[in-house]
Structure 1
Amino acid sequence: MNLNGIGQASSYASSAFASNSVSPTETYKRLIGADRILAAAAASMNLSRGEFEQPRIRLVDQTSLIHLEITGGTAEEAQARGDALLAAFFAELDALRADEQATREDSGLAAIGDYKSSVATTRADIAKLQNDSGLVSVDQYNAIVEATRMLESRVQDLAATLQDKTHSVASLETTLGIPAKAAAATLKLYADAQFIALTDEVGVHAARLAEAQSRFGDGHPKVQDARAAHAAAKAATLQQAKQVTGLTMADLGTLDLAPAGARADLLAELVRMDAERAGIAQHHETLSRRLERELARQHALAAPAARLQDLQRDFRVAEAVFATAIARSQSTKSDVYASYPLVQVLENPSLPYNPSSPNRTLAYAAGIAATFMLLVGLALGWMRSAVINRLLNKPGDPA
């Protein structure tokens, strides 16, 4: 009998006739003649043990048959004694088989109790380890290891991507001669309409200053007025740039003040690439911190996972042994003929037609033989007497 996922139990009844050392028929022969069976048969007929005669038991050669003979005062009584003897014999067989089953079951209960205790102890150890470590099963630990391995691979890929992006941004910064932060501030600044207007005004005042300087000397009032207007416009432009970008006056000198045409596109590309690099760097940092936590967790759960695997294996073994023991205990209940094979009555006790004793033919023969021997004895006695008398009366003997 196979119990899927639990265990296996095998039960078979070997033939009692397969043994050369033990003969079931000889066992039953001794059992039928046992005093307790004869006493039980006598009690069922309200007879004493002494009144119930000993049966004659004979084993039939080359067969497994047992021949019984029992006598009684009458033919009906002999038949009744045979039935009583068979009934007592079968009752005793049932009692012996029941006692054998009870003995087997009692001997198996102790082992089953030990197996049950082992299963309970292992289950308690598993529950305690799961509660302490938070690890439910070895599969969970394997899933953690696999997830950590994949996370480590992602971190390595992000590191390579981040390195490529960093090199690309650095190369473009070198080409443009401006850092990515300044390029972003430049694009932001030139997206402001007021700054553009102020820049145009600075250009107008610069043209007027140049025109005045070309016509008059530096001390001429028109030149001074044009220079002052130009300075005021430039100061207003720088103040607006500071307000828009949030940079200091010193940092404003790093801005590209001529982002026109293809250079503006390159500045935009630099800003975009730097933004991608910053995003990848942040993602890489986040995953790196997560990887460190997962590696620490994996290292902390390594020993509990190994211990849990051992306990679960021990639990499966103990559970299989326990279930198998129960299955075997239940399956052996069907093997009731292991020690005492099945017995069938081929012929019920018959009603004799003639008494077994006395035998009339034998009595007649014995009477005839006795009469013949008596006659022979008498004849021999008569002949002996005649011979003696002849010898005594022989001529020539003194009187």
Structure 2
Amino acid sequence: MPRQTQDARKPRLSLSRILRGGNVGDRSRLPRYLLLASAGAVAIWAPITGYLSKAPLTYRSDMSLILPGSGASASVNLDSIGQASSYANSAFASNAVSPTETYKRLMAAERILDAAADSMGIDPEDFGKPRVELVDQTGLIHVSLTGPSADEAQARLNALRAAFFGEIEALRSDEINTRELGAGAAIDEYRQSVTETRAEITRLQEETGLISPEQYDALVAETDALARRVDDAAADLAEQTEAVAALERALGLTPELAAATLKLHADTEFAALAEEMSDAAAKLSQARGLYGPRHPKVQAAEAGHDSARGETRARARLLTRLGDGALDLLDLSHVGDRAALLSELVELETARAGLAAEHAALAARLAQARTDRAALIAPAARLEDLQRDFAVAEAVFASAMARTQSSKADLFASYPLVQVLEDPSMPEDPASPRRKLAVAAGGAATMFLFFGMFLGWMRRPMIDWLLAAPASTPAPAYASMVPAE
């Protein structure tokens, strides 16, 4: 009987007991809860412990890249050729293309990863995939890469950086080469046009001796100046000729005879003979005034005069080399006050002769200049046209060359400048497995397990309270206003 009573007091397992639980003070439930808690703890900590003990260590190296937002421009003025300018737009000037997104895709490209793996001598599959993150509203690119050790992770990221920059340089060089290849045919055509025009100009210069249109302009100006000088020389010559003629009429001598007269009277022997002849003439005149023509004194005076005159003429002939006819025109007597006039006549004639020679030389030069000018009219016009064509061809060629050369300076037009803001870091702690996070997660799971077990232990009074709560709740005030049925 007591055994039956004890079996009757033992709680029975039923669906209601399982759902509602037993009494809070029923300690017979404790083994079951301890078993469930132990099983739950094992289920939580066994995977965590296995992960922490078996998972290989990996290290993560980080670096940061930046794209400067400003553009760059340059302009060069070439004297007598033109202007060459280059301008690189800002990397963020266009909303259609994002340079950071482009570089993000490029950094994860297979050929860059293969090149980085080859540089380190490892299999591309073992190299790993970089993690690339973009910072909104900035030009920053964060790159991270893992490795089995800290040095290996840093080395791999350095290799990735070198392969990335090498690929960018290769793309820029390929773009420049493609542009040069496209512009090469046009540049060759421009160069051929310049060469042909230059050869034709050289041939025309060699044939005509005309170097430039400015030379022809100088020839025209020189011809006009010569024409004015010839006119001025002709006027001066006419004035000088009239002065010489007036003095000739006044003296009754030609300039040649005046010069001979001055030369004779400058000779001392001739002057003595002329003075002796003058004395003899005076004696003859005095004898003729006193005696008849046949008087012995008159005849003696005539003989002395003729002798003195003959010696004087002989001396004059010797000095002047003139004939008897010209000597007859000479005034062999003393010139006296007429010496200044004779000298002036000689000077005027000398000046007139100089003016005549100058006029003749200028006239000859003017005639030759006019002949040359007439012969060079057509070549000068042709040369000017050729030089204009050459200038245009040279400007086009220089402009094409300048554009080609300036495009080489515009390296960042398609692929913007990128700089390393932070070098690949040397990680101090492994990135995986994360022990602290795993332990924290296990602890949190254990706490949730114990809290769940606690709620399971206390579920019966809680359920009873929830079921009894509506009956003990006072009726609302408006319930009394509802009429009873």
TM-score by length of 1: 0.64
The worse-fitting range, judged by mean Cα deviation, of 89-98 and 237-246 is 237-246
Structure 2 partner of 1:277: 352
The worse-fitting range, judged by mean Cα deviation, of 301-310 and 100-109 is 301-310
Structure 2 partner of 1:267: 342
Greater share of residues in strand: 2
Residue 256 to residue 330, structure 1, CA distance change in 2 (3 Å): same
Distance in 1 of aligned mates of 2:173 and 2:417: 14
1:27 and 2:111 correspond:
no
1:352 and 2:427 correspond:
no
Distance in 2 of aligned mates of 1:71 and 1:206: 151
1:213 is matched with which residue: 292, 302, 305? 292
Distance in 2 of aligned mates of 1:30 and 1:231: 137
1:294 is matched with which residue: 357, 369, 376? 369
Alignment of 1:129-168 (within 5 A): 129-137=204-212, 140-141=215-216, 144=219, 147-168=222-243
Residue 202 to residue 46, structure 1, CA distance change in 2 (3 Å): same
The worse-fitting range, judged by mean Cα deviation, of 120-129 and 222-231 is 222-231
Q: CA deviation at 1:175?
A: 2.8
Alignment of 1:193-208 (within 5 A): 196=274, 197=276, 201=280, 204=283, 208=287
1:14 is matched with which residue: 89, 110, 120? 89
- Deviation string 1:81-124 (CA, Å, 9 cap, x unpaired) is 98476665444333322211222333344444444434433443
Distance in 2 of aligned mates of 1:325 and 1:42: 43
Whichever residue aligns with residue 97 of structure 1, its letter is R
- Deviation string 1:325-351 (CA, Å, 9 cap, x unpaired) is 555544443433221123456675986
Whichever residue aligns with residue 86 of structure 2, its letter is S
Distance in 1 of aligned mates of 2:160 and 2:248: 118
Alignment of 1:314-333 (within 5 A): 315=390, 322=397, 325-326=400-401, 328-333=403-408
The question of whether the paired residues in 2 share the 8 Å contact of 1:198 and 1:236 is answered with no
The question of whether the paired residues in 2 share the 8 Å contact of 1:115 and 1:318 is answered with yes
Q: How many residues align?
A: 362
Residue 200 to residue 37, structure 1, CA distance change in 2 (3 Å): same
Structure 2 partner of 1:382: none
The worse-fitting range, judged by mean Cα deviation, of 206-215 and 293-302 is 206-215
Aligned CA RMSD, in angstroms, stands at: 5.3
Alignment of 1:228-267 (within 5 A): 236=310, 240=314, 254-256=329-331, 260-267=335-342
Q: CA deviation at 1:212?
A: 4.9
The worse-fitting range, judged by mean Cα deviation, of 3-12 and 206-215 is 206-215
The question of whether the paired residues in 1 share the 8 Å contact of 2:113 and 2:124 is answered with no
The question of whether the paired residues in 2 share the 8 Å contact of 1:189 and 1:244 is answered with yes
The question of whether the paired residues in 2 share the 8 Å contact of 1:189 and 1:195 is answered with no
Distance in 2 of aligned mates of 1:291 and 1:40: 83
Distance in 2 of aligned mates of 1:235 and 1:258: 10
3-state DSSP class of the match of 2:355? helix
1:338 is matched with which residue: 392, 395, 413? 413
The question of whether the paired residues in 1 share the 8 Å contact of 2:258 and 2:343 is answered with yes
The question of whether the paired residues in 2 share the 8 Å contact of 1:206 and 1:230 is answered with no
Q: Which runs of 5+ in 1 are unaligned?
A: 217-221, 372-399
TM-score by length of 2: 0.55
Q: Which runs of 5+ in 2 are unaligned?
A: 1-75, 453-485
By relative contact order (CA 8 Å, sep 6+), the higher-ranking structure is: 2
1:176 is matched with which residue: 239, 251, 255? 251
Residue 106 to residue 248, structure 1, CA distance change in 2 (3 Å): same
3-state DSSP class of the match of 1:10? strand
The question of whether the paired residues in 2 share the 8 Å contact of 1:209 and 1:226 is answered with no
Distance in 2 of aligned mates of 1:231 and 1:269: 32
The question of whether the paired residues in 2 share the 8 Å contact of 1:205 and 1:229 is answered with no
Distance in 2 of aligned mates of 1:341 and 1:103: 18
Structure 1 partner of 2:482: none
Distance in 1 of aligned mates of 2:163 and 2:323: 121
